[in-house]
Structure 1
């Protein structure tokens, strides 16, 4: 189990030593402070999950420090201790955000029970925050469909790495199901009951992405009117999935490297190190090795991420899975409305011959379109898009046996989608299942490559 960081603040040295040792044996990572000033120094250097704080100290009031902690670190739970407990002090402490108020001397078992409830409260809060972010992302099923040798090997690798805390790098073309594999790793890990947080590194500008990942302090920049917790904090004890990792700017690559190496980061505008216990799973559809050679991706970050690499094969390399995938999308479609819809042999033949440059995501969209057009109980070839009904070489009738490179297939498919969208890049990017920024980059690469 992950260690919970705890700061024990009390002016009695014997109490600090006795209680600190007992809590350490119970699994807490304990720091101690003998005064308010020393406590402030600890809090400035490090993030604590829990603080046990004496009310009356020689150099100040614990109640004043409580207010400071609740303002600078709202997720930290504070338990107040006092040897001169009054009803007024207890009421003030609870009103100012203390988790509980105990009178000294208190039994160690009583303190541990209160601390355990505080930890449970934090876990519920993290889970609730993550759940709110995931509601719109829920799928009818999140299992990886397929029975080919490639899929069996993939699932075996997922099962093995899930048992560890190793960083995972998932590789594969757009639309192959990288997020699905990341979720499977999390679901089979010891962190499965903790948050799974998804971050699309290509969808946000650098400054916004930095704030999303690491949070910001109140007043860190214009418009930062309140403290914001970053997604690494939300994912504490769980898993964070960094999709499109190759799109990170050099500045963010440095910050991510620090998290991977030390488990700590600082909020934008902050000075205190925040420690988190987060498993990182990253994904990319680009060659990080080529980017390293071109100076676009840090070599040290690459080796930190590439501890365990999983390659997801494109759909064209596992055509035998297409029938089961198609049936899966039909049975889980909201459009079907409980109709018994089948795919005709001719339509299935079309689906299995097509090259699927958009992979599983494209197949899902094609099935959804066919269900909309199909009035009866059978999907026929005419219900499939023209581009799919053409030959795997995208209808080059002059050269029906021409073998094209993957780059040429991608070029022709992107061109076809853009033509269908009348040049509307945002719409084309949505159909292709990539960000508009990614589409712009691909167009530049394809334009610079001889046809």
Structure 2
């Protein structure tokens, strides 16, 4: 349908491109640079849809949304903002905006949102929040995280079940917390339970409680997580590790809204919102017969995918500063990041994701006295976190490729030895550092047999002997003395 669209943004270039894009769709566009003019148009009954920025010279577009909804409840509003935080997304939804678009956005996305707003019935706006400036629970300006924020903004004031998927350390519990803390159940309990941390035989009792005498050792009635979370939110972390028997009982709760304790006979109402999370591929577990397909569809009402940190490198600097600020609030020394340090952080692949970055920032805040963090400190701390203080390999980097591992160690080596590198011969020196452990491992694998070791390496036997002499490596059989 052709409509009259009111656009408000103090940036002339944005007004121009938005107006042109909408005009090409056949809409009439009126554009203003301030909130006062927009309100005059709305108050006069003009326009079929509003597209407004948040920050304008004479007011805040978010504050204008409830006034517009009160004056003209059926007028859809699309909010766009460069303040692309989770709170902006949540508040746009709370105040009745039809859609929230973080800047910069693709014009096709805006046009699609306009089409939806003009053809769909708007849902009833949820009650407004208290307006308090809560601390940001999740940090990220990347497009992937903006999509997460938009989903959270739409979900906070519903009781819809959500399934959060992402690698370990990406912040799945933070998302679950945000859905609870900014939602209608925020004054009730948030109860988290990790399926992977509970013995299989105790999971049903842990979730649903048990009656006295229900099993050996049940000397008193036990209260389960469903009962503890009544009125609030139950977060089921690592749901992929839940045994099949417990999956069947959880499915029944989701179907009926009631649960029965182990050994009990009377059903209790389950007044809880369920949020589940996993780092596993549940569809693959279904194929393997380890996860119920019907439970998956009950949980996966609204899927939320959290990207790995290596997929949102643009957020690393903001996250690192955020964690340094948290460390300072906890009593550690206040520190800032140099440009070189940020570049070093962005080169690393972060197999432990956001959790690893937070641990690294805290480690640097404790171990270094300097006020400005440089690349050397980052590289040394990354290497220390990877290998452990005892020099043993850490499980945190178990999924690294050989190339990634070598890259990480070389960067740490260069950062630690800047100014003390040899004047020449660095290439041969580094190759020797890699060759030595490789030759030793191959000799151990072949029990000191140089012929087999040469075959394993794809080298001529004489070439292997020459390298062993150059590196002063003695081929010996296991069990013999040095």
Instruction: Give TM-score scaled by structure 1 length.
Output: 0.54
2:286 is aligned with 1:292: yes
- Distance (Å, rounded) in 2 between the aligned partners of 1:172 and 1:219: 40
- Distance (Å, rounded) in 2 between the aligned partners of 1:256 and 1:279: 13
Name 2:305's counterpart in structure 1.
311
Match of 2:176 among 179, 182, 197: 182
- Distance (Å, rounded) in 2 between the aligned partners of 1:181 and 1:374: 32
2:343 is aligned with 1:349: yes
- Partner of 1:286: helix, strand, or coil? coil
- Distance (Å, rounded) in 1 between the aligned partners of 2:403 and 2:299: 30
- Distance (Å, rounded) in 2 between the aligned partners of 1:283 and 1:266: 23
Kindly name which structure, 1 or 2, has the bigger radius of gyration based on alpha carbons.
2
Residues 390-401 of structure 1: matches in 2 within 5 Å? none
Residues 102-121 of structure 1: matches in 2 within 5 Å? none
Alpha-carbon contact 2:336-2:373 (below 8 Å) kept: yes
Name 1:170's counterpart in structure 2.
164
Name 2:233's counterpart in structure 1.
239
Name 2:326's counterpart in structure 1.
332
Match of 1:378 among 360, 369, 372: 372
- Partner of 2:218: helix, strand, or coil? coil
- Partner of 1:229: helix, strand, or coil? coil
Match of 1:203 among 197, 201, 216: 197
- Partner of 2:307: helix, strand, or coil? coil
Alpha-carbon contact 1:202-1:244 (below 8 Å) kept: yes
Bigger shift: residues 181-190 or 356-365: 181-190
- Distance (Å, rounded) in 2 between the aligned partners of 1:194 and 1:225: 29
Deviation at 1:223, TM superposition (A): 2.1
- Distance (Å, rounded) in 1 between the aligned partners of 2:165 and 2:179: 14
- Distance (Å, rounded) in 1 between the aligned partners of 2:193 and 2:328: 26
Name 1:270's counterpart in structure 2.
264
- Partner of 2:197: helix, strand, or coil? coil
Name 2:431's counterpart in structure 1.
none
Deviation at 1:215, TM superposition (A): 0.6
Alpha-carbon contact 1:357-1:409 (below 8 Å) kept: no
2:273 is aligned with 1:279: yes
Deviation at 1:334, TM superposition (A): 5.5
RMSD: 2.7
Relative contact order (C-alpha < 8 Å, sep 6+): which is higher? 1
Deviation at 1:385, TM superposition (A): 5.1
Match of 2:254 among 260, 271, 282: 260
Q: Deviations over 1:274-325 (max 9, x none)?
A: 1221110000111001111111111100110111000011111111111111
Q: Deviations over 1:1-47 (max 9, x none)?
A: xxxxxxxxxxxxxxxxxxxxxxxxxxxxxxxxxxxxxxxxxxxxxxx
Deviation at 1:163, TM superposition (A): 2.3
Deviation at 1:384, TM superposition (A): 2.9
- Partner of 1:332: helix, strand, or coil? helix
- Distance (Å, rounded) in 1 between the aligned partners of 2:212 and 2:239: 28
Deviation at 1:172, TM superposition (A): 0.5
Deviation at 1:179, TM superposition (A): 0.3
Deviation at 1:328, TM superposition (A): 0.6
Assess, with a 3 A threshold, how the Cα gap between structure 1 residues 219 and 318 changes in structure 2: closer, same or farther: same
Assess, with a 3 A threshold, how the Cα gap between structure 1 residues 251 and 360 changes in structure 2: closer, same or farther: same
Alpha-carbon contact 1:373-1:383 (below 8 Å) kept: no
Instruction: Give TM-score scaled by structure 2 length.
Output: 0.51
| Count of residue correspondences | 262
- Partner of 2:196: helix, strand, or coil? coil
Q: Structure 1 residue runs of 4+, over 2 Å off?
A: 334-340, 380-390, 406-413
Name 2:295's counterpart in structure 1.
301
Q: Deviations over 1:318-348 (max 9, x none)?
A: 1111111111111111587363311122221
Q: Deviations over 1:196-245 (max 9, x none)?
A: 11010100101222211111101112221211111101111111000000
Q: Deviations over 1:348-370 (max 9, x none)?
A: 11101111111100000111111
Assess, with a 3 A threshold, how the Cα gap between structure 1 residues 300 and 329 changes in structure 2: closer, same or farther: same
- Distance (Å, rounded) in 2 between the aligned partners of 1:191 and 1:411: 48
Deviation at 1:388, TM superposition (A): 3.4
